[in-house]
Chain A
Amino acid sequence: MLIPENESLPSIAREIRLNMLEMAYQCDGPAHLGGGLSMVELMTTLYARVLNFDPLNPDLSTRDRFILSKGHGVLGYFPVLAQFGYFDKSLLKSFKVNGSDLVAHPVWKQELGIESSNGSLGHGLSMAAGIALAAKLKSEKYKTFVLLGDGECNEGSIWEAAMFAVQYKLDNLTAIIDWNGFQSDGPSEEVIDNRNLPDRWRGFGWNVIEIDGHDHESIENSLKQTTLPSIPKVILAKTIKGRGISFMENNNAWHHNRLTKESYLRAKLEVEAK
């Protein structure tokens, strides 16, 4: 954790959103803005207040591990890694440049703080469970966190991993679900209704915590809440897709879309005004 307790998380979150907008605009093509914007507070709080890491030693065995399972959320991830010291913010300008390390889905690069290649949904929870199990086998204290999308929970492999984590008592594993209620084709109710997500996770035996995923204090408390022995934790974070930019909020046209100059400037002004 690099920032002092009194530094304002909302101001960091604002900065991250400005970085995202710039990346999306500069790349001159469509980018996953909606699901990036919904995860900003979750990521900011996680990196500022919870994760134990040293960006100068990205391989440190004691570091906490973070896997971005909803790989399309890179706009809410790369600026956070830069913000917390893994690389210079100038590298964000290489987003979606030919041959760049920073493309539309994470590509494993330990020195940049990127722990895994993702993009195909439904993979991250299994890997995170393996990492958490490894900590148990090696008697190491690090913790493992994984961010999933609510749409991603359509994938059967998520539930395979959910059963496994309970069976192997992975209380060192925390799944965070960015529950923004939309997926690629529209509102989840119209695709695969997931309004009973908490019951599903509870039914699978997880310790379920429901929070407002844009409230830093709730996020921090839920992440720090002492785990129940032997039970993995899932934080169901209610979020707003496109959060922070009025014309993107709950507007699934911004799931993956291009920012024109006009829409960029409008969005930027809105974020700056907050």
Chain B
Amino acid sequence: MSALVFSSDKILQWGRLGPRATYGQILLTLASQDSKIVALSADLGNSSGLDRMKSALPSQFINTGIAEQNMIGVAAGLAKEGFTVFASSFAPFISFRAGEQLRMNLGYMCHNIKAVGIGSGLSMGFLGNSHYGTEDLAVIRSIPNITIVSPADTTEVAKAVEAASNSIGPFYIRLTGQPGSQLVNTDDYEFEVGKAIELQDGDDVALIASGSMVAEALNAAKLLEAIGISASVINMHTIKPIDHEVLEKVALRNVPIFTLEEHSIIGGLGSAVAEYFSSKKASRSITLIGIPDAYGETGSYEFLLEKYGLRGELIANQIRLALEKN
């Protein structure tokens, strides 16, 4: 039974607030019902949507200062003593700066820490490559024992945060998108960690997407439909462990696969899908759509998504061209 209410009002409200503020609001709701839930921040409490938690539940909000490594270490001590710890920072800071702390404390010792990468992907816009979360999945996916969830929209942020708080063990929750980003879910739905969601069926191509790219995959599928290409769309919200059952179903269709993610094409969702199929006998056509292996120019979120072809129409076009080639 969920402690949260998924009314259409709430869903729309979270969408307007965006992923970070939704994270903060959900955590506040959960923490006000359970004093063992604590939120840690490395001087980005306000940026993590935790300002209300700081004033409403001061003893459950711990600011470690600009010190991500210590934040994860302190989180481990608290988790060892029975707390459910949510620790957030911008994606590159938590994945790289505190990378070895994640490895020791979440990976090696499996402490009950939910690391949250805020502003991941390209959403930091003009703040530049120093702030983009383009390789966080590659780093964290290589560490054993960490469940990785990349919510498709703000409703899924709420679902993922609640699921993580109800489960004992390490998580990485990756927040992409920004306030007003397109919603994938406008009604309540079933969410289960590790179980991908088949959003629509299709016979010609399979689109496997995560995070902000799920909405774009749906947009692309609609455009493809108009030109007679039928695409299935899968919301692979859990990147690790990846849903083998759904991938097997995709395999049975024997159609070209396109993976979509707001992450480097190295080490993220696309790699996880390709790794899975690499162990199978039949060869598959898998095209990885994401951010190229380079640090590019800086600009607005919209500009960057456009530049990297991570928009519905650009994705549809890329798929159409790929199919024409074959």
Q: Are B65 and A130 in contact (CB under 8 A)?
A: no
Q: Are A130 and B78 in contact (CB under 8 A)?
A: yes
Which residues of chain A (126-153) have a CB below 8 Å from chain B?
126-135, 137-138
Give 15 pairs: A residue, B residue, CB < 8 Å, sorted on A.
Answer: A115-B80, A126-B69, A126-B74, A126-B77, A127-B76, A127-B77, A130-B74, A130-B79, A131-B80, A132-B77, A134-B80, A138-B82, A160-B70, A161-B73, A161-B74
Number of A-B contacts (CB under 8 A): 90
6 nearest A-B residue pairs (beta carbon): A130-B77, A126-B73, A134-B81, A160-B70, A160-B67, A130-B74
Q: Are A130 and B109 in contact (CB under 8 A)?
A: no
Report B-chain residues with C-beta under 8 Å of the C-beta of A138: 81-82
Q: Could you say which of A120, A134, A163 contacts B77, with CB atoms under 8 Å apart?
A: A134
CB closest chain-B residue, reference A162: B70
Interface centre among B70, B79, B104 (most CB of A within 10 A): B70
CA distance A116 to B77 in the complex (A): 10
- For residue A154, CB closer than 8 A to chain B, the reply is no
**Other contacts beyond A126-B77, A163-B67: 14, CB < 8 A:** A117-B109, A126-B70, A126-B73, A127-B77, A130-B73, A130-B77, A133-B62, A133-B77, A133-B78, A134-B77, A156-B69, A157-B101, A161-B70, A161-B74
CB closest chain-B residue, reference A124: B73
Q: Is the interface of A mostly helix, strand, loop or mixed?
A: helix
Contact A133 to B70, CB < 8 A, known contacts A127-B105, A160-B65: no
Interface of B toward A, CB cutoff 8 Å: 38, 59, 62, 64-65, 67, 69-70, 72-83, 100-101, 104-105, 108-109
CA distance A157 to B67 in the complex (A): 8
**How many residues from A make CB contacts under 8 Å with B?**
29
CB closest chain-B residue, reference A163: B65
Report A-chain residues with C-beta under 8 Å of the C-beta of B100: 120
One digit per residue, 1 when the CB lies within 8 angstroms of any chain B CB and 0 when it does not, for chain A 233-252 equals 00000000000000000000
Q: Are A134 and B76 in contact (CB under 8 A)?
A: no
CA distance A164 to B67 in the complex (A): 9
Q: Could you say which of A117, A127, A132, A137 contacts B73, with CB atoms under 8 Å apart?
A: A127
Report A-chain residues with C-beta under 8 Å of the C-beta of B108: 117
CA distance A274 to B57 in the complex (A): 58
Report B-chain residues with C-beta under 8 Å of the C-beta of A126: 69-70, 72-74, 76-77, 101
Q: Are B81 and A160 in contact (CB under 8 A)?
A: no
CA distance A157 to B64 in the complex (A): 12
CA distance A135 to B74 in the complex (A): 13
CA distance A167 to B65 in the complex (A): 10
Contact A123 to B73, CB < 8 A, known contacts A160-B64, A160-B67: yes
Q: Are B73 and A131 in contact (CB under 8 A)?
A: no
CA distance A163 to B78 in the complex (A): 17
Report A-chain residues with C-beta under 8 Å of the C-beta of B101: 123, 126, 157
Report B-chain residues with C-beta under 8 Å of the C-beta of A164: 64-65, 67, 70, 74
Q: Are A137 and B74 in contact (CB under 8 A)?
A: no
CA distance A156 to B70 in the complex (A): 9
Q: Could you say which of B59, B65, B83, B104 contacts A123, with CB atoms under 8 Å apart?
A: B104
CB distance from A123 to the nearest CB of B (A): 6
Contact A129 to B59, CB < 8 A, known contacts A117-B108, A135-B81, A164-B67: no
